[in-house]
A and B are shown apart, each in its own frame.
Chain A
Amino acid sequence: MSETAFDPTAPLTPTGNLRRRRAFNRFAEYGATAAAVLAVAVLAIVIYTVVARGASALSLEFLFTGEPTGIGPAIVGTGLIVLVATAIAMPLGVLIALYLTEFAGGRADRPIRLMLDLMNGLPSIVIGLFVFGLLVYGKTQSAFAGSIALAIIELPLIARGSQEVLLLVPNSMREAADALGVSRWRTVLGVILPSALGGIVTATVLAVARAAGETAPLILVCSVFDSRGVSLNPFEAIPNIPVTIFTLSEEANPTGFARAWGASLVLLSFILLASLAARVLLARSRSKVAR
């Protein structure tokens, strides 16, 4: 085949169609790099905008007073709603994870995991509709309803993250405890959970970071925006950051925009810091497990 006739003793520079292929290869490599640069650039632009415009709105007054000068009650409100939501979701999530790793037989395993996957994929507005129908319809909006909605969002994240860590606990530990005659529940509480604690906390922090920013369900079940002061009553609607940002963003009011940027800065800082903390925790617990 004369097509392949090449002189092997020729210098090792490109022959045949290699020059064109190399050019295309370089083009592809640039393209992939450009895509990564684009993603990082968009992140940088968004963060920069939030920081630049939000910083000017930040002040002690902003953080500690209510509408129309500050978002103090909203911060407290989000804190309460997320706290209650996590208090509900974390134990349930860990229990479900325990069920999957310690107790479930093959048959129960798949439906539970399917349930978690489906719950994770639910659009948050649908969750809002659900909680509305469950708790708000015929009654009033409430922070508790918001917490339920956020708990549904947090639950699959905590359950899956906890399950991953629990699976990492070596089986030999369980077998050793069994051989010693130690009962299941003592093993779980005394040995397995403590060693998985780091991962469970990480998963919870990530779930909190996700839930703190959720707006859609809160619009439906805990949406209040007025000069009400700080309220810690979970059975009425209380101000919260996502709804505040959303409401201010929909009004065509520049001073409102400034406050919305400030609130966005507060929320984004919290979320990014929480994600960072989770990452650090994850790295630390990974290095512990990989002895």
Chain B
Amino acid sequence: MSGLDSSAGLDEVAGSAPARVRIQSGPLAAPNGANGSAPRETGIGAVFEARDVSVHYGRKRALASVSLRIPRNRITALIGPSGCGKTTFLRSLNRMNDSVPGFRIDGQVLYHGHDMYGGNVDRVEVRRRIGMVFQKPNPFPKSIYDNIAWAPRNLGLKHGLDERVEAALRGAALWDEVKDRLKDSALGLSGGQQQRLCIARAIAIEPDVLLLDEPASALDPIATASIEELMHSLKGRFTIVIVTHNMQQAARVADQTAFFSLDSSAAEPSGTLVEFADTEAIFSHPKDPRTRDYVSGRFG
């Protein structure tokens, strides 16, 4: 894959040594007046930059010291065994973890240079720009049309709603299957169709980023294949970050891949980033032994 130009700075975190185990104490060490006053240099084409991000749920540390840059208009996959913080990290990218009790994040998450957890940041605005599709399809108990039109209506995008809905459904490769029954309940669709509906719902407001949390894990292989095809076509318009426990899927779909694993060297094991590189590199010549073990199927 050709992620070469946007890979600037990625080598920093490629697994040269086991990821540092450090418990970040105190508030964000953010010398930039962390309310997005001036965009900081985050490298060419990087949408997200995570700097030494750690996540705690109450006392338990779920994620330790993750630093990585997510490039624009590419598909970045987060892979690794269950419980290693991949989903936690993903949900930290659109502040969906805020509602989890005891959630605390240390380090910085920069979005286009702005600190996402800074004081002035509006959560709702964050989610308008960074959309999410969940593991289990969760369509609203409304019609197909209303599912997609709901968020645009909220945003005041009332004109051209029909066209917007059609464009979203086309973008999700669902239009042909549902164009004659837009008024039917979305709950009557199959699992794969529902998930594509959720994707259409997310892209209808034209976000900047799409976060996909194991989008095909609840689907059969045929539906999975259609989702994967979709992602290639969506890549051009959105930056995509996808969590998947299926490494073949990552190999098929992603430009860059980040491998998360459990860091057991600390007193309490927590998830951490082990290696991050171009997908091809991760799979054919991984640098970290843990990565090698995982991708060769020896564990996980």
Contact = CB atoms under 8 A, between A and B. Distances in A.
B101 interface: no
A21 B157 CA distance: 13
Contacts of A3: 157, 159-160
17 contacts: A1-B164, A1-B206, A3-B159, A3-B160, A4-B157, A4-B206, A12-B36, A12-B122, A12-B126, A13-B121, A14-B124, A15-B128, A16-B155, A17-B156, A18-B128, A21-B124, A21-B154
B112 A9 contact: yes
B160 A15 contact: no
Contacts of A14: 122, 124-125
Contacts of A17: 155-156
- Chain B binding surface, main DSSP class: loop
A18 B120 CA distance: 14
Contact of A11 (B36, B128, B155): B36
Interface in A6-32: 6, 8-9, 11-18, 21-22
Contacts of B160: 1, 3
Nearest to A9: B112
Interface string B32-44: 0001110100000
A16 B205 contact: no
Contact of B121 (A12, A18, A21): A12
Contact of B122 (A1, A9, A18): A18
Interface of A: 1, 3-4, 6, 8-9, 11-18, 21-22
B124 A22 contact: yes
B252 interface: no
Interface of B: 35-37, 39, 111-114, 116, 118, 120-122, 124-126, 128-129, 154-157, 159-160, 164, 205-206, 208
B114 A12 contact: yes
Contacts of B126: 12
B150 to A, nearest CB: 14
Given A16-B155, A17-B156, A8 B208 contact: yes
B122 A22 contact: yes
Nearest to A15: B125
Nearest to A4: B206
A9 B39 contact: yes
Contacts of B113: 9
Contact of B120 (A1, A8, A12): A12
A6 B114 CA distance: 16
A143 B216 CA distance: 70
A20 to B, nearest CB: 9
Contacts of A22: 122, 124
B154 A12 contact: no
Task: Name the residue among A1, A6, A8 with the largest chain B CB count within 10 angstroms.
Answer: A8
Contacts of B129: 6, 8, 12
